[in-house]
Structure 1
Amino acid sequence: MEAIAVLDKVSYIYPNAKETVLKDISLTINKGEFLGIIGATGAGKTTLCLALTGIVPQFYGGRFFGKIAIAGLDSLEHPVSELARHVGIVFEDPEVQITATSVENEIAFALENLCIPREEILRRIPIVLKSVRLEGFEKKNPQELSGGQKQRLAIAAALALQPDLLILDEPTSQLDPIGSQEVFATVKELKENLGVSIVMVSHAAEEMAEFCDRIALLADGKLQALGTPAEIYSQVELLQQNKLRPPEVAQAFHKIQQTGIHLDRIPVTLESGIKDLEILRSRSQLVSPPVFASSSANLDKPPILSVKNLQHIYADGTEALKNISIDIHAGEYVLIVGQNGAGKSTLVKHFLNLLQPTKGQVLVGDRDTSQLSVSELAQSIGYLAQNPDNQIFNTSVEKEVSFALPFLGYSPKAIEQATTNSLKAMQLWEHRNAHPLSLPKGERGRIVIAALLAMNPEIIILDEPTTGQDYQGASSILEVSRQLHQMGKTVIVITHHLYLMPDYADRAIVMGKGTVLLDAPLRQAYHQVDLLESTYLTPPQSVVLSQYLSKISDRQYPLITPTEFANSFMPN
């Protein structure tokens, strides 16, 4: 096979750093290949991507060893501008890449830099916009797009250059699951139709298993393992040792194998898992489905948060919320889900009085939010925004966490105590003197949670807290949410990642196009598969497997986790 990029014994150290970030990596990327790169935060994935564009070491400096050839060009001898004709890159945070005042200009900008003729630019714009589900947005200002839409625009702009190699660093971390699926599918089509080679860094195990040709596992700067998705993702213990989440199908079948039932393989995609279910039935006994009690202990308490007939129309005429009524009770743990643009963040901003209702009212306890200042509300409600950087403005982590406490009347001693407890609870103690923006995005989210914890509000709202986090980071934030819930706090989490939530939330509110489509106990909501898919959400693979199991066994299995699914089987 023809190679598009060859790395030969590549090592790299950033300027003024002691640690080697990449350690002796040799790897060939083939023409037309879709290579996935996985690894925990700090494994060296982003540095490897930057090295493939020549940005490392040309812009960063530092010490570089070994050799990288991209489309036959040496990455040290050819300037980044020349390499850019062959390799395009899309970063995790689209904000850093988008500069133009309209969607079509964003795509035209890079093409004009490469002196592409005007007719060709006009031909490419609709093609790439269609491929990322942004037709009709040509004239819109990118700043009016949701996070997910901005990411798709960044991908469209890179695709328009028709590079030989397209590098995507966590491109789907801010997208709803169907948006994420579409990016994977789009990228696969580019590979198949245009022969573009793809390198993608992602924590989206289910999609990576389905779409990649090969997976490279990085750990501590080394290439730890390289193989097909079936070879890499079936090694559940290897992934867990490296703090990675295997696809749910692989988790479930691995647990089944551990009970002593013989399996020919560990399936890593939903399709192969459903196929293997028939064989599994013949080699095992089915256990009767468990009876799950619904947790409605909090519903007899008065609501702590009420929304009555809430409507919100933005200045441009967009009706973001349509006649919504919800009661949330003290001590509940509520999940709010829906596609990008479903109205989730708009709803939450009304809880905080950051937006005022066009019609209807919002009550915190029995007080109307229109009568409360934002600072009064902050004593009752702690809020972690989707982009934590918008909430950070101090010069050290410790100052950030303690900032609001004097205004709430805390004594110096109480401030010190609350700040220390918060920093330790969020594993930020050793970073307390660091500048918040010097930490990775995932850590910055934890700083804001630590600041909220110190203020001790009754209600905690986490808006997409797991965006951009690896599995360990996401789990540690959700573990904090569990601790808060156990302390009696009311917790509201907005996320696209349904597979993360079964161990935490007990109720799900599903939103779509500004309305509440469903408000039900979590288990019941997860099994409304068609409804979830209508709002661009993907149910966890365990749910789909258990629905298939219900079909072939004539009994209902309302299961929502790999463990519950695995526990349904016993050796013959």
Structure 2
Amino acid sequence: METIATIIIEKLVFPNEEKPALKNINFEIKRGDFIVITGGVASGKSILLHSITGAIPHYHNAELTGKITILGQDIKDVHLNHMSDYVGYMMQEPHNQIISLDVYEDVAFGLGNLGIPCEQTEQIVNNTLKFVGLDGYENRQTASLSGGQAQRVVLAGVLALNAPILILDQPTAELDPQGRLEIYKRLSQLNKHQNLTIVLVMDRIEEVLSYANRVFYLKDGEIIKEYLPEDYYNDQVLLQKRRLKYAADAAIANSSPKESIAKIINVSYRYRNNLIGCEDIHLEVYKGDFISIIGLNGSGKSTLAKLLIGLLKPCKGEIKLFGKLLNRENLTKIRTQIGFLFQNPDHQIFASTLEEEVGFSLKLRGEREAVIDQKIDECLEFVGLLDYKKMHPQRLSRGQRQLLALASILAGDPEFIIADEPTSGLDENQGFMIMNKLFDLSQKGKTILCITHDLTLAKAYSNRLVALNNHRLQFDISIKDLPEYNEALKEIGLNFQDIALFRGGWDGSF
């Protein structure tokens, strides 16, 4: 195959840093490649993509020793605003890449900059939105999109530019399982039928392996191994089975608690544009529960979580927390008993250092300095970030910022923890670590409500599964009864059956 890019990075060092963020990187990208890059938190995956796209050094200041060429051009000689001629780049955070108020204008933005005629632009926008599964969303306000829908909009905008190389950073991290498989299948179609070259970063890659032809594993800024997809799968599936043994035993051991913590009674919510958030929800949460809220993107999961902590007010129905009706008068007091982990950690991180972030709520409560210092260290050690306590949070990776947000929540010792996609942006090791810790907390009497698209983790750790479909509560299932509901869940896009990626031998397809 024709070589269309050469990446040689002897080392890449950021200002005031001694340790290279990347080192000893040397590989070629062939036309028609479908490369998947994976690795642990802060292993350098996103930085490598920044380097390939020219964001480093043209935007992010760093000293790069080496040479990166794309289609014969040294990217140092290509202005950043011309890189779209070479690569289409989808960043890790979809809301950082959305710049318009409605979906149509956002997808059309790049085409307008290229001077594409309006009639042609309309056709391209409609086609790309249909391709990513958002047909009919042209007039939808971008602020009302779920995380998964926002990812699809950004992908549509990137695809519309028709660059020869597609660079994607965690493109399905916020999608439900059905959505992830749809996007991977459609990207594979572009790869196979249009010879589009794809370089994709994902923390958890089992679902995309069937479409890839190369897998790179990064550790400490270095590609330590290149796998064939089937070899990576064979290595990782055995490791995953060992990890899940503890989780499965833990879920079975979880008792059925009966003390009511939260009660949602006939609750409905509509957004200002009259879009339904959730409708006629009845749900009771008991002390010590580990409940996983599951459902496709846009089914109402995050809306339900925001209603529970008073960020949204029901249009109909009522919510009781700790036996008290949630209202304006007692909202502040009730919130001291609840920890909420947002889907995007940057929505709740604001301090200048990790220790300031974790200690903020403790200082508000008037805790003694010695108690604050001890609690900060305990919480940061709990999530594996103690060595970074003096660092600015924005220097952390997305996954590390997720861990920081969790540490700041735990500092307040909440009785009820609501976690919206707590493993988003984490590698498998970190994901299992977080879920193990949350489960340990539930065993100590804490109550966990976890919104997740990871059905494997939901099945392994929960004592109850609550499935939303079309904004309504469809099923409330005890984990021991899950086999009876497998077919019914599959009908609403939630398939708990194991996906045999390589059944029948490796043929590169399902």
Q: Give the equivalent residue in structure 1 for 2:349.
A: 392
Q: Give the equivalent residue in structure 2 for 1:62.
A: 62
- Tell me whether 469-478 or 76-85 shows the greater mean CA deviation: 76-85
- Mapped contact 1:225–1:232 kept (Cα < 8 A): no
1:524 pairs with 2:471: no
In the alignment, residue 171 of structure 1 is paired with which amino acid? P
CA distance in 1, matches of 2:54, 2:252: 55
- Mapped contact 1:458–1:490 kept (Cα < 8 A): yes
TM-score of the superposed pair, with normalisation by structure 1 = 0.81
Go from structure 1 to structure 2 and tell me whether the alpha carbon gap of 1:92 and 1:523 turns closer, same or farther (over 3 Å shift): farther
1:83-142 deviation digits (Å, cap 9, x = unpaired): 320211101101121112221111221112222233322221111000111111112221
CA distance in 1, matches of 2:441, 2:249: 28
Gaps of 5+ in 2: 504-510
Q: Give the equivalent residue in structure 1 for 2:383.
A: 426
Q: Give the equivalent residue in structure 2 for 1:345.
A: 302
Q: Give the equivalent residue in structure 1 for 2:262.
A: 305
CA distance in 2, matches of 1:61, 1:327: 51
Q: What is the DSSP-based 3-state SS (H/G/I as helix, E as strand, rest coil) of the residue aligned with 1:455?
A: coil
- Mapped contact 1:31–1:196 kept (Cα < 8 A): yes
- Mapped contact 1:405–1:455 kept (Cα < 8 A): yes
1:68-92 deviation digits (Å, cap 9, x = unpaired): 2211222223323333202111011
CA distance in 1, matches of 2:349, 2:78: 39
CA distance in 1, matches of 2:250, 2:413: 33
In the alignment, residue 255 of structure 2 is paired with which amino acid? A
Q: What is the DSSP-based 3-state SS (H/G/I as helix, E as strand, rest coil) of the residue aligned with 1:205?
A: coil
Q: Give the equivalent residue in structure 2 for 1:367.
A: 324
CA distance in 2, matches of 1:291, 1:451: 29
Q: How does 1:280-359 map to 2 (within 5 A)?
A: 297-299=255-257, 301-359=258-316
Q: How does 1:406-555 map to 2 (within 5 A)?
A: 406-408=363-365, 410-525=367-482, 528-539=485-496, 541=498
Gaps of 5+ in 1: 237-245, 256-289, 549-572
In the alignment, residue 471 of structure 2 is paired with which amino acid? G
1:381 pairs with 2:315: no
Q: What is the DSSP-based 3-state SS (H/G/I as helix, E as strand, rest coil) of the residue aligned with 2:391?
A: coil
Please say which structure displays the higher CA radius of gyration.
1
In the alignment, residue 298 of structure 1 is paired with which amino acid? S
Q: How does 1:26-175 map to 2 (within 5 A)?
A: 26-175=26-175
Q: Give the equivalent residue in structure 2 for 1:15.
A: 15
1:151-180 deviation digits (Å, cap 9, x = unpaired): 111111110111110000111111111121
In the alignment, residue 130 of structure 1 is paired with which amino acid? K
Q: What is the DSSP-based 3-state SS (H/G/I as helix, E as strand, rest coil) of the residue aligned with 2:327?
A: helix
Q: What is the DSSP-based 3-state SS (H/G/I as helix, E as strand, rest coil) of the residue aligned with 1:124?
A: helix
**Deviation for aligned residue 1:513:** 1.4
CA distance in 1, matches of 2:11, 2:232: 24
Go from structure 1 to structure 2 and tell me whether the alpha carbon gap of 1:77 and 1:415 turns closer, same or farther (over 3 Å shift): closer
1:41-77 deviation digits (Å, cap 9, x = unpaired): 2322222212222222333343323332211222223
Go from structure 1 to structure 2 and tell me whether the alpha carbon gap of 1:252 and 1:295 turns closer, same or farther (over 3 Å shift): closer
1:240-294 deviation digits (Å, cap 9, x = unpaired): xxxxxx247x855999xxxxxxxxxxxxxxxxxxxxxxxxxxxxxxxxxx99996
Q: Give the equivalent residue in structure 2 for 1:179.
A: 179
Count of paired positions: 499
Q: What is the DSSP-based 3-state SS (H/G/I as helix, E as strand, rest coil) of the residue aligned with 1:399?
A: helix
**Deviation for aligned residue 1:310:** 1.7
CA distance in 2, matches of 1:506, 1:411: 38
Q: Give the equivalent residue in structure 2 for 1:223.
A: 223
Go from structure 1 to structure 2 and tell me whether the alpha carbon gap of 1:414 and 1:25 turns closer, same or farther (over 3 Å shift): closer
**Deviation for aligned residue 1:398:** 1.9
Q: Give the equivalent residue in structure 1 for 2:213.
A: 213
CA distance in 2, matches of 1:382, 1:9: 42
CA distance in 1, matches of 2:369, 2:23: 47
**Deviation for aligned residue 1:146:** 1.1
TM-score of the superposed pair, with normalisation by structure 2 = 0.90
Go from structure 1 to structure 2 and tell me whether the alpha carbon gap of 1:118 and 1:504 turns closer, same or farther (over 3 Å shift): same
CA distance in 1, matches of 2:296, 2:207: 18
In the alignment, residue 370 of structure 1 is paired with which amino acid? N
In the alignment, residue 331 of structure 1 is paired with which amino acid? G
CA distance in 1, matches of 2:176, 2:113: 32
- Mapped contact 2:256–2:463 kept (Cα < 8 A): no
- Mapped contact 2:204–2:427 kept (Cα < 8 A): no
**Deviation for aligned residue 1:363:** 1.2
Q: What is the DSSP-based 3-state SS (H/G/I as helix, E as strand, rest coil) of the residue aligned with 1:76?
A: helix
Q: How does 1:236-255 map to 2 (within 5 A)?
A: 236=235, 246-247=236-237, 251=240
CA distance in 1, matches of 2:275, 2:61: 47
- Tell me whether 22-31 or 168-177 shows the greater mean CA deviation: 22-31
**Deviation for aligned residue 1:371:** 6.2
Go from structure 1 to structure 2 and tell me whether the alpha carbon gap of 1:526 and 1:481 turns closer, same or farther (over 3 Å shift): farther
Q: What is the DSSP-based 3-state SS (H/G/I as helix, E as strand, rest coil) of the residue aligned with 2:209?
A: helix
**Deviation for aligned residue 1:369:** 0.9
Q: What is the DSSP-based 3-state SS (H/G/I as helix, E as strand, rest coil) of the residue aligned with 2:171?
A: coil
1:174-206 deviation digits (Å, cap 9, x = unpaired): 111112112211211111232211011112322
**Deviation for aligned residue 1:8:** 4.2
CA distance in 2, matches of 1:352, 1:291: 31
Q: Percent identity?
A: 32
Go from structure 1 to structure 2 and tell me whether the alpha carbon gap of 1:411 and 1:98 turns closer, same or farther (over 3 Å shift): same
Go from structure 1 to structure 2 and tell me whether the alpha carbon gap of 1:407 and 1:475 turns closer, same or farther (over 3 Å shift): same
In the alignment, residue 389 of structure 1 is paired with which amino acid? D
Q: What is the DSSP-based 3-state SS (H/G/I as helix, E as strand, rest coil) of the residue aligned with 1:528?
A: helix
**Deviation for aligned residue 1:323:** 1.7
Go from structure 1 to structure 2 and tell me whether the alpha carbon gap of 1:395 and 1:211 turns closer, same or farther (over 3 Å shift): same
Q: What is the DSSP-based 3-state SS (H/G/I as helix, E as strand, rest coil) of the residue aligned with 2:333?
A: helix
In the alignment, residue 81 of structure 1 is paired with which amino acid? N
Go from structure 1 to structure 2 and tell me whether the alpha carbon gap of 1:530 and 1:43 turns closer, same or farther (over 3 Å shift): same
- Mapped contact 1:174–1:468 kept (Cα < 8 A): no
